Amino acid sequence: MARSPLLSRRATLLGLTAAATLGKVSLALAAAPTEQRFVVVILRGALDGMAAVVPYGDRDLVGLRGGLVPKRPGEADGLLDLGGFYGLHPALPGLHLMYQAGELLPVHAVSNGTGTRSHFVAQDRLELGSLHEGITSGWLNRVASLLAQPEHGEAALAVGPALPLLLRGPAPVGTWMPPGGAHGDASFYAELAAMHAGDPATGPAIALALQERGFSAAALAGMAPLPNQGAFPSLCAAAGRLLAAPAGPRLAALEVGGWDTHARQMQRLPPVLKTLDEGLSALKDGLGPVWQQTAVLVVTEFGRTVRINGTQGTDHGTASVAFVLGGNVAGGRVAATWPGLAATKLFENRDLQPTTDLRAVAKGLLAQHLGLGAPALEAVFPDSAMATPMRGLLRA
Amino acid sequence: MDAHPLHAMIRFGLGRRGTEPLPADARAWLRAQLQDPDPALAAPISSTLAALEAHRLDREMRPMEGQTVREELLRRADTAIAMRILAETDSPFRERLVWLWANHFTVSVHNGGVRALVLPYVQEAIRPHVTGRFADMLHAVIRHPAMLWYLDNQESAGPDSPAGLRAHRGLNENLARECLELHTIGAAAGYTQADVTEFAKVLTGWSVDMGTASPGFAFMPERHQPGPKTIMGMTFPEGEAGGDAVLTWLGNHPLTFRRVAERLVRHFVADRPAPADVKRIADVLHETHGNLRAAVLALLDLPGAWQPLTKLRSPADFVVASVRALDLPEQDRPEMAGLMSHFGQPLLSAPLPNGWPDTAADWADGEMLLRRADWAIGIAGKHPTIDPQALAAASLGDLLGDANRLAIQRAASRRDAVALALAAPEFQRR
């Protein structure tokens, strides 16, 4: 099995910590190194940031992608207004409540670095925090190794069927697996069905079995929304409860897919946004009072094209949106240097131009929320001096 | 497509292991695997004697509550060895033959005393004969304790034997019937109930002696029906030699050769074997007195052998092929036998003596195929460093269609992409 040289070294490092990553998270009573909680949610597949946080005030928007823009705020099923220029997609009512409570801060036109439109490469960069040859651990794992380690259990927890690259590395990490085994996102099964559609032996059988699992024929044909197959909301609820425990973990990572909306985005995206919205609301509920000590960072590997493609979807782009949320987040506003959508402003005449480095957002949170100083930030994100930590993410 | 190396590795093997070298000459590579000796004959699978001793100990000294019985420990250890052979072998063609014949001569772990015997049975009664004469395998199988117990021959007694007269014990015709119907000439051969009864009488006394220092097969004369017996017009002498003579006759019967040929062609070439192909292989068996190596090598020259793959990997095949494609170190491998059960084909546990079916339609259940995809998502998540495009290219090469190659390349995450490579329709083929 071929692996890239960069990754094979990581695999050996992982071998050293494999024992520490097995088993359930420890809830042993031990003095915690910090009372702050920090959660990273990875949206795999590239969220269309302009569909989630719609710059409806930009006069070029409708001309570029009118078919993807919901109705204006105030209309039935319209956008949920974020202060007159941006609006949240109507499938995100829970996030809108947090926004209104001043606990949600969308950061727009963020980028994880340009130069690739490959999911795999961009997700590696998102999770490793760098594409330097020498970097083989995930950046959240490096954060974990900087925190004082608890006497028992692990400081960091992966919630879900996989241990993401983000959390892999020398620091011990707990894993919490959902009962019932691994499942893919609905979009994975739709892709699988498409791959088998032309096969007389397996195609009809797989389509039928997916219908028994709640996928309508119309959904498999892309003509209706996919069912909510993700366990994401229940994983978020579990993560919230585990993080709320006094001696529980302080860092956690979750992931949710379904964002790669190359076709029929108006049908495919809303249920995925709804899943995200329900999940983040469940996370807040699960944390209870600890929500006040929690910061959540929601990130994706890149954005999507500004224009609609030939199949009513969008292709791989550049800048997208990130979300910062939590009880002490200085939210109720959108943080962005909006680049504009005029033809001359687009990145390579197709994508939203990035104006904020995602690492600046992450570093700002690590500094303000976890108290990491400049040397620690440099250790977490090497060679990121140009990405100055974003200020004012938390209330003083 | 002629003698395409990956095609050969999939149709006649267990799938490519990681990036193992592709054979320059696929036919030569396959032929070489059938040269003796079989390296896996030296594998430390328990002996039949050890399995029988474990069975006897478990019966004599019942394990305490909560203790695992010796037979089960032995079965688990042997299963792990058998799975390691499948995952790592350099003679995958030979392994395919071993499991093909183990299925032809089905026994099941669910038959009480047989549990610990199944893998020793495969190792001692099947494996040594897959490139030898079919009749020799038949002899080894019918006198193995696993088969004698599985098909209930151990208690069968001739009504006129000393044991029959004394204890009013009688015939059990199960083994005789299945040997005719499933193992050799087949129901279409036209034998009658009287022939089955006669064969059952021939086999009386073929049993398992658990009362000696070395438990194992024993011919027990006090249970044997006296006198000669006639089956389909052929007369066979009294005694153990009579049974051997019947097996030699059945094992070399033209109808048996025809059914062996049909099974080989169906397994390796096409769900519906072409009559000309079956005749060709049956002729080879006839010419060579049942030489299975010659028959199997003749498969390589059938035109259908190099046509596009149309058969489906059975659950067991899929598990083995996936583990080989991922080429994980042993400690990272999934528990293979458990997965085979999960996908619908528990190891050596076919529900009936006719074994697992062998056509694509039998393994095309949608939910079971989805389970393969669910599992693939899980294993891909555990190994986020696997390069999905390299995996697909190594294991399928140009057998993967362009559209599906693109779908893997464009998947939303490395995890989805690895899972799609393993769940792709092309990966289900063999």
Q: What is the ipTM of this complex?
A: 0.92
Residue A163 pLDDT class (50, 70, 90 cuts): confident
Domain shared by A77 and A193, yes or no: no
Domain shared by A145 and A56, yes or no: yes
Residue from the list B18, B370, B403 with its beta carbon closest to the beta carbon of A206: B370
Neighbour-count burial for A5-33, b at 16+ CB within 10 Å, e otherwise: ebbeebbeebeebeeebeeebbeeeeebe
- Judge whether A354 and A107 are in contact, CB under 8 Å: no
Number of domains in chain B: 3
Does the beta-carbon distance from A168 to B369 stay under 8 Å?
Answer: no
Instruction: Tell me the percentage of chain B whose pLDDT exceeds 70.
Output: 99
Interface of A with B in 249-268 (CB under 8 A): 257-260, 262
H/E stretch holding A297 reads: strand A294-300
Alpha-carbon dihedral sign for residues A225, A226, A227, A231 = negative
Residue from the list A8, A182, A202 with its beta carbon closest to the beta carbon of B378: A182
The average pLDDT across B266-282 equals 97
- For residue A263 the two structure tokens come to 């076709």
Domain shared by A266 and A312, yes or no: yes
Domain shared by A223 and A237, yes or no: no
Q: Which chain A residue is nearest to residue B378, measuring alpha carbons?
A: A182
Domain shared by B133 and B156, yes or no: no
How many interchain CB pairs under 8 A, A with B?
Answer: 150
Cα angle B1, B4, B8; round to 5 = 120
Neighbour-count burial for B316-337, b at 16+ CB within 10 Å, e otherwise: bbbbbbbbbbbbbeeeebbebb
Domain shared by A190 and A285, yes or no: no
Q: Is the pLDDT of residue A259 over 90?
A: yes
- Judge whether A98 and A104 are in contact, CB under 8 Å: yes
In this structure, the number of other CB atoms found within 10 A of the CB of residue A193 comes to 23
pLDDT in the model for residue A115: 80
The average pLDDT across B243-250 equals 98
Q: Is residue A92 part of a domain?
A: yes
Q: Which chain A residue is nearest to residue B400, measuring alpha carbons?
A: A195
Q: Which chain B residue is nearest to residue A9, measuring alpha carbons?
A: B385
State the amino acid at position A14 in one-letter form: L
pLDDT in the model for residue A323: 98
Euclidean distance between the first and final Cα of chain B, in Å? 14
Residue from the list B386, B410, B425 with its beta carbon closest to the beta carbon of A199: B425
Domain shared by B114 and B133, yes or no: yes
Residue A230 pLDDT class (50, 70, 90 cuts): low
Residue from the list B387, B411, B425 with its beta carbon closest to the beta carbon of A3: B387
Domain shared by B215 and B125, yes or no: no
Question: For residue A161, what is the domain's CATH number?
Answer: 3.40.720
Domain shared by B111 and B175, yes or no: no
Does the beta-carbon distance from B382 to A163 stay under 8 Å?
Answer: yes
> Domain residues for B182?
151-251
Domain shared by B165 and B240, yes or no: yes
Chain B positions in Cβ-Cβ contact with residue A263 (cut-off 8 Å): none
Q: Is residue B73 part of a domain?
A: yes
pLDDT in the model for residue A27: 26
Instruction: Tell me the percentage of chain A whose pLDDT exceeds 90.
Output: 69
Domain shared by B124 and B218, yes or no: no
- Judge whether A159 and A253 are in contact, CB under 8 Å: yes
Domain shared by A320 and A346, yes or no: yes
Q: Is residue A384 part of a domain?
A: no
Q: Which region among A30-39, A383-392, B354-363 has the lowest average model confidence (pLDDT)?
A: A30-39
- Judge whether A178 and A235 are in contact, CB under 8 Å: yes
In this structure, the number of other CB atoms found within 10 A of the CB of residue A255 comes to 25
Domain shared by B202 and B159, yes or no: yes
Chain A positions in Cβ-Cβ contact with residue B388 (cut-off 8 Å): 120
pLDDT in the model for residue A318: 96
Does the beta-carbon distance from A259 to B369 stay under 8 Å?
Answer: no
d(CA A36, CA B371): 40
Phi/psi for B387 (5° steps) reads -90, 110
For A363-381, give the secondary structure using H, E and C: HHHHHHHHCCCHHHHHHHC
Domain shared by A264 and A163, yes or no: yes
Q: Is residue B346 part of a domain?
A: no
The average pLDDT across A349-365 equals 97
Measured in residues, chain A has a length of 396
> Domain residues for A45?
41-182+230-359
pLDDT in the model for residue A142: 95
- For residue B204 the two structure tokens come to 């009386």
Quote the minimal CA–CA distance from B338 to chain A in Å.
Answer: 14
pLDDT in the model for residue B348: 94
Write down the residue that tokens 């070029």 correspond to: A60
Q: Is residue A159 part of a domain?
A: yes
Find all residues with CB under 8 Å of B265, minimum gap 6, and list them.
Answer: B273, B274, B277, B278, B281, B299, B302, B304
Domain shared by A202 and A73, yes or no: no
Q: Is the pLDDT of residue B36 over 90?
A: no
Given CB atoms, is A19 within the 8 Å cutoff of chain B? Answer: no
The average pLDDT across B27-31 equals 97
**Cα B130 to Cα A287, B249, B377, distances in angstroms:** 63, 19, 37
- Judge whether B127 and B41 are in contact, CB under 8 Å: yes
Given CB atoms, is A44 within the 8 Å cutoff of chain B? Answer: yes
Domain shared by B137 and B162, yes or no: no
Given CB atoms, is A202 within the 8 Å cutoff of chain B? Answer: yes
Does the beta-carbon distance from B384 to A182 stay under 8 Å?
Answer: no
Phi/psi for B130 (5° steps) reads -70, -20
Does the beta-carbon distance from A45 to B19 stay under 8 Å?
Answer: no
- Judge whether A387 and A130 are in contact, CB under 8 Å: no
Domain shared by B136 and B168, yes or no: no
What is the rounded average pLDDT for all residues in chain A? 87
d(CA B77, CA A153): 33
Residue from the list B366, B375, B407 with its beta carbon closest to the beta carbon of A209: B366
In this structure, the number of other CB atoms found within 10 A of the CB of residue B357 comes to 14
Q: Which chain A residue is nearest to residue B380, measuring alpha carbons?
A: A162
Residue A105 DSSP SS3: strand
Domain shared by A344 and A208, yes or no: no
Does the beta-carbon distance from B411 to A119 stay under 8 Å?
Answer: yes
What is the rounded average pLDDT for all residues in chain B? 95
Write down the residue that tokens 């090469």 correspond to: B397
Q: Is residue B307 part of a domain?
A: no
Q: Is residue A367 part of a domain?
A: no
- Judge whether B32 and B8 are in contact, CB under 8 Å: no
pLDDT in the model for residue A4: 34
pLDDT in the model for residue A162: 79
Query: Could you say which of A199, A227, A255 is where a domain stops?
Result: A227
pLDDT in the model for residue B112: 63
Query: Could you say which of B232, B251, B270 is where a domain stops?
Result: B251
Residue A214 pLDDT class (50, 70, 90 cuts): confident
Mutation for B interface: A202, A211, A235, A301, most B CBs within 10 A: A202
- What's this model's pTM, rounded to 2 decimal places? 0.85
Domain shared by A125 and A198, yes or no: no
Chain B positions in Cβ-Cβ contact with residue A188 (cut-off 8 Å): 373, 377, 411-412, 416, 419-420
Helix B388-396 vs helix B315-326: crossing angle, to nearest 10: 120
pLDDT in the model for residue B423: 98
pLDDT tens sequence across A4-46: 333 233 333 333 232 222 222 322 222 346 889 999 999 999 9
Query: Could you say which of B142, B173, B205 is where a domain stops?
Result: B142
Q: Is the pLDDT of residue B404 over 50?
A: yes
Domain shared by B74 and B126, yes or no: yes
Find all residues with CB under 8 Å of A200, minimum gap 6, and list them.
Answer: none
Q: Is residue A13 part of a domain?
A: no
Does the beta-carbon distance from A210 to B373 stay under 8 Å?
Answer: no
pLDDT in the model for residue B106: 97
Q: Is residue B127 part of a domain?
A: yes
Given CB atoms, is A9 within the 8 Å cutoff of chain B? Answer: no
Does the beta-carbon distance from B384 to A196 stay under 8 Å?
Answer: no
Number of domains in chain A: 2
The average pLDDT across A201-222 equals 88
pLDDT in the model for residue B85: 98
pLDDT in the model for residue A61: 97
pLDDT in the model for residue B366: 93
Residue from the list B310, B328, B420 with its beta carbon closest to the beta carbon of A192: B420
Given CB atoms, is A191 within the 8 Å cutoff of chain B? Answer: yes
pLDDT tens sequence across A54-86: 999 999 999 999 999 999 999 999 999 999 999
Chain B positions in Cβ-Cβ contact with residue A199 (cut-off 8 Å): 425
Residue from the list B310, B328, B381 with its beta carbon closest to the beta carbon of A161: B381
Chain B positions in Cβ-Cβ contact with residue A11 (cut-off 8 Å): 385
Query: Could you say which of B94, B123, B142 is where a domain stops?
Result: B142
Q: Cα torsion at B186, B190, B192, B196 (round to 10°)?
A: -30
Residue B87 pLDDT class (50, 70, 90 cuts): very high
Chain B positions in Cβ-Cβ contact with residue A7 (cut-off 8 Å): 385, 387
Q: Is the pLDDT of residue B179 over 60?
A: yes
Q: Is residue A33 part of a domain?
A: no
pLDDT tens sequence across A328-352: 999 999 999 999 999 999 999 999 9
Q: Is residue A373 part of a domain?
A: no
Domain shared by B203 and B120, yes or no: no
pLDDT in the model for residue B300: 97
pLDDT in the model for residue A11: 30
pLDDT in the model for residue A10: 31
Chain A positions in Cβ-Cβ contact with residue B361 (cut-off 8 Å): 201
Q: Is residue B243 part of a domain?
A: yes
Domain shared by A63 and A144, yes or no: yes
Characterize the bridge pairing of strands A294-300 and A53-54.
unpaired
pLDDT tens sequence across A269-301: 999 999 999 999 999 999 999 999 999 999 999
Does the beta-carbon distance from B412 to A202 stay under 8 Å?
Answer: no
Domain shared by A205 and A322, yes or no: no
